[in-house]
Structure 1
Amino acid sequence: MDRHPADLYKDHLKPFLLSKAEEFMILGYDDIEIKELWSYLLNKKWKNKKDVQIHHLAGDILSVKIGEFMNYATVESFKTSNLLDSPEGQDMLDELLK
């Protein structure tokens, strides 16, 4: 798998990721891990971003809304579960993807 250009800055962006995870914890979302947040950023927010600048990446991290992240996490959860094998699970996923 090709590395995303933002991967070069991951260590430098760690304080921003920690800050965002702490913000989510204050909001009552205790189970969000840095690697999940990073995955969201790479696969959703920065999916088509090829030219990256560290200050834009930091701003993107700090602007993540809990609703955006939770929608992504829910869809990813459905993708990896066996629930998709059932018609009910497929209906639920289709509804989330609208």
Structure 2
Amino acid sequence: MEKQHPYQRYFIKVKPVLRNKVEELRLLGLGDVNENEVWECLVTKKWKKPDVDIHIHEIVQDILTLSNSQYMTYKTIEAYKAPNLFKELSSEDLNQLLKD
């Protein structure tokens, strides 16, 4: 079982702020973003070393100051970490898939 992040207890309380950030990112052209992805980005990148005495306003500030480029960098890195779905296919199989 994976250990829960210490800031998870604030997730429900800051959900409106996350929703606001999602709307902002969508206005900037990122159509497929959601609250959970923004939260995971912050947990993975900004909150690697959690502060035990953090206040909710600091979490809100981190959410609001997350930039479009920080989020896109996170998503790009996560995409590179994803498994290669075509790894098991031979070049003949790939050619067949890409054939007109």
Matching residue of 1:81: 83
Supply the distance in 1 between the matched residues of 2:35 and 2:80 (Cα, whole angstroms): 20
Note the 1:12-23 alignment, pairs <5 A: 12-23=13-24
Supply the distance in 2 between the matched residues of 1:14 and 1:5 (Cα, whole angstroms): 16
Mapped pair 1:63 → 2:88: no
| Count of matched residue positions in the alignment of Structure 1 and Structure 2 | 84
Which runs of 5 or more structure 2 residues have no equivalent in the other structure?
88-100
Matching residue of 2:96: none
TM-superposed deviation, 1:35:
1.1
Supply the distance in 1 between the matched residues of 2:66 and 2:42 (Cα, whole angstroms): 9
Q: Identify which range, 41-50 or 13-22, moves more after superposition.
A: 41-50
Matching residue of 1:34: 35
Which runs of 5 or more structure 1 residues have no equivalent in the other structure?
86-98
TM-score (norm 1): 0.79
SS in 2 for 1:18: helix
List per-residue Cα deviations over 1:62-92 (Å, max 9, x = no partner): 0000000100111001101318x7xxxxxxx
Supply the distance in 1 between the matched residues of 2:51 and 2:6 (Cα, whole angstroms): 6
Runs of 4+ in 1 over 4 A off after TM superposition: none
- Percent identity between matched residues is 37
List per-residue Cα deviations over 1:15-68 (Å, max 9, x = no partner): 010000000111111111111111001111111123221110000000000000
Note the 1:33-52 alignment, pairs <5 A: 33-51=34-52, 52=54
> Which amino acid in 2 is paired with 1:32?
V
Matching residue of 1:94: none
Whichever structure has more helix as a proportion of its residues is 1
